[in-house]
Structure 1
Amino acid sequence: MPVPVVLPAGFSSRAATDADVEAIHELVAATERELHGEAETAPDGIKAVLSRPGFDPAVDSVVVHDVDGRLAAWAWLNRGKRAQIDVDPGHRGLGIGTALLDWAEARAVEVGTTDWIAQAVDDKDQAGVDLVRARGYDVLAVNWQLELPMDSEPVIPALPEGLTVRPFAAGDAAAAHLLIEDAFDEWQPRRKSYEEWAAMMIERSSFAPERSPLIFAGDELVGAALCLDLPDTDEGYIEQLAVRRDHRGKGLARTLLAVARHGFYRRGKRNLTLWTHSDTGALAMYERLGMTVRRSTTMYRGGPF
């Protein structure tokens, strides 16, 4: 049975459904435009959250509407550990975010989480930062969005002898999942199953296999940059980038970035972005490759409950 949400008068809540995807996208985009002057959220990213294996929207998500039926906020909790709350800029300061944080914590306890949950808050969202800080949440990690403008057609560097590069193909999915999860095991709290990874990555409508370079040593996959081609933007996005541990320090990340940039440049894109996590230790590497920080979010951890 869904955990109830105690909201201010005039607001109602229910579980999210696929029919809400576009409205949720518009809400999240509005928050991004308020904080950064532009939106990067895509509808297929919202749909991926609702459809990921192990996630039950009927009990793990909430949408909040005002008295006029307008979407005012939404929240979700994945596997009792990772929460996200977004409140429309026009409905802030009314206690909706507090009510949804109460819901997330109660839902976590219901599924057996009593130690902690984590939530990412944009570093420019002072109200959100103040809310989690007032609850005793502390910093778990920092995420940085990096960018690399493309003022001219990128030059692709030569690979070391014995290595080749080509775009992602359908038969590469299993190897790409293994490479990504092996690399991310070094910092992420849990390993994603193939089904969950695929739902969040290659099954998205914006996944761009033809602009996602893979590097091989013989027939072994040793590097990958999996990219999204989002509509209505002049930017290309690298969603996941990984190099196998035994092939690091050979310039493969530089080549993956260059090939991805080249493909997006040919598509008329003039900026390349990606996110990196403080636990990866990759920020300095990306900065050496010419990328700069554009925005950041902090992952806060709260509990026990």
Structure 2
Amino acid sequence: MLPEGFTSRPATHDDPPAIHRLMAAAETEWHGRAEVVPDAIEADLRRPELHLDRDTLVVYAANGDLAGWAWIHLGKRAQVDVHPAYRGRGLGTALLDWVEARSRAEGSEWTAQAVDDADDAGTELLRSRGYEVLATNWLLERPITAPGPRNLPAGLTLTPYTDQAAHDVHELIEDAFAEFQPRRKSYDEWARLSVERPSFRPDASPLAYAGDELVGAVIALDLPESDEGYVEQLAVRADHRGKGIARAMLEETCAVFHGLGRRDCILWTHSGTGALGMYERLGMRVRRSTTVYRSTS
């Protein structure tokens, strides 16, 4: 039930550049800068068990502009975006209707999506449908300075990421995030969202070993046309937390990005991890936030 003058179709793998421009336009309006990572969109569209023909929708205006889009994975996690030029015309409502219908068709008991806290219209729409706050995501930043002497915790060694360690890294990260994420990602899904992305930077992604046991890992991305280094994931094994491992890995990542001329290091953290205070002690501060809303279908 799109507003008059708009048409839709499933997304294709040719659409990410146009989708990126749509999302960048929204972020620029809200924050004065675009931070969406171009290859993140393609990675999302290549998630296992996400079927483009039924789980994605792109909406075009009569003049050919991409006006909005949405996707939903496994009937649960969803995303809806509308170009700033086409807000206030009912597209957000229509796309949310489509997301909720797809969720019901999959037999899901709930749907969830993150909304930028500067997106007043999107926030109001979800609240009007009875969505409740599930969690908060914070984008953190830290200036990158010249690296000092390495001060590793006793018994710890750091090595750059290697493909041979990929499955161990996947297990460690999924174990660490199991406390707050609704399901474990398969190796294929995790890899498509991280180490198989074109922006993945192995040399900025240290692995921490205590003896021969993997106890920490960073997945870092080198963002195109950006002066910032991005940490996609950082995890420390539960029985080795509080020993300075996260600090050591982050310092190693920042040292590599400093050599590449990057100005800031940025990462997202989730309220379910309880890690915000730790990152603040490492010198990071909140740049902006999103809220995850969840509703029953």
2:114 to 120, 128, 133: 120
Shift of 1:186: 1.2
**TM-score, structure 1 length as denominator?**
0.96
Q: 1:80-134, CA deviations, whole angstroms, 9 ceiling, x for partnerless residues? A: 0011001000000000000000000000001111x21101100000011111011
Shift of 1:161: 2.5
Residues of 2 paired with 1:157 and 1:129: CA distance? 44
**TM-score, structure 2 length as denominator?**
0.98
Residues of 2 paired with 1:42 and 1:294: CA distance? 16
**SS of equivalent residue, structure 2 residue 35:** coil
Residues of 1 paired with 2:43 and 2:208: CA distance? 27
Letter in 1 for 2:230: Y
- 1:156–1:255 contact (8 Å) kept in structure 2: no
**SS of equivalent residue, structure 2 residue 14:** helix
- 1:53–1:195 contact (8 Å) kept in structure 2: yes
- 1:76–1:85 contact (8 Å) kept in structure 2: yes
**SS of equivalent residue, structure 1 residue 202:** coil
**Which position in structure 1 is the counterpart of 2:171?**
178
Residue pairs, 1:81-230, within 5 angstroms: 81-113=76-108, 115-150=109-144, 152-155=145-148, 157-230=150-223
**Which position in structure 1 is the counterpart of 2:5?**
10
Residues of 2 paired with 1:256 and 1:234: CA distance? 20
Residues of 1 paired with 2:106 and 2:15: CA distance? 25
Gaps of 5+ in 1: 1-5
**Which position in structure 2 is the counterpart of 1:26?**
21
**SS of equivalent residue, structure 2 residue 15:** helix
**SS of equivalent residue, structure 2 residue 255:** helix
- Percent of pairs with identical residues: 59
Structure 1 residue 257 and structure 2 residue 250: aligned?
yes
Residues of 1 paired with 2:58 and 2:228: CA distance? 30
Structure 1 residue 248 and structure 2 residue 241: aligned?
yes
Shift of 1:256: 1.0
Q: 1:118-172, CA deviations, whole angstroms, 9 ceiling, x for partnerless residues? A: 011000000111110111111000000100012x303254222321001101111
**SS of equivalent residue, structure 2 residue 261:** coil
Gaps of 5+ in 2: none
Shift of 1:219: 1.9
Q: 1:192-212, CA deviations, whole angstroms, 9 ceiling, x for partnerless residues? A: 000100011100000000111
Residues of 1 paired with 2:33 and 2:3: CA distance? 30
Q: 1:170-222, CA deviations, whole angstroms, 9 ceiling, x for partnerless residues? A: 11101110110010011111000001000111000000001111111122111
Letter in 2 for 1:293: V
Residues of 2 paired with 1:70 and 1:298: CA distance? 28
2:33 to 38, 47, 60: 38
Count matched residues: 297
**Which position in structure 2 is the counterpart of 1:61?**
56
Residues of 2 paired with 1:58 and 1:219: CA distance? 45
Letter in 2 for 1:109: R
Letter in 1 for 2:193: M
**SS of equivalent residue, structure 1 residue 19:** coil
- 1:123–1:129 contact (8 Å) kept in structure 2: yes
**Which position in structure 2 is the counterpart of 1:3?**
none
**SS of equivalent residue, structure 1 residue 18:** coil
Shift of 1:14: 0.5
Where in structure 1 do 4 or more consecutive aligned residues deviate above 4 Å?
A: none
**SS of equivalent residue, structure 1 residue 255:** helix
Query: Would the alpha carbon gap of residues 134 and 27 (structure 1) be closer, same or farther in structure 2, given more than 3 Å must change?
Result: same
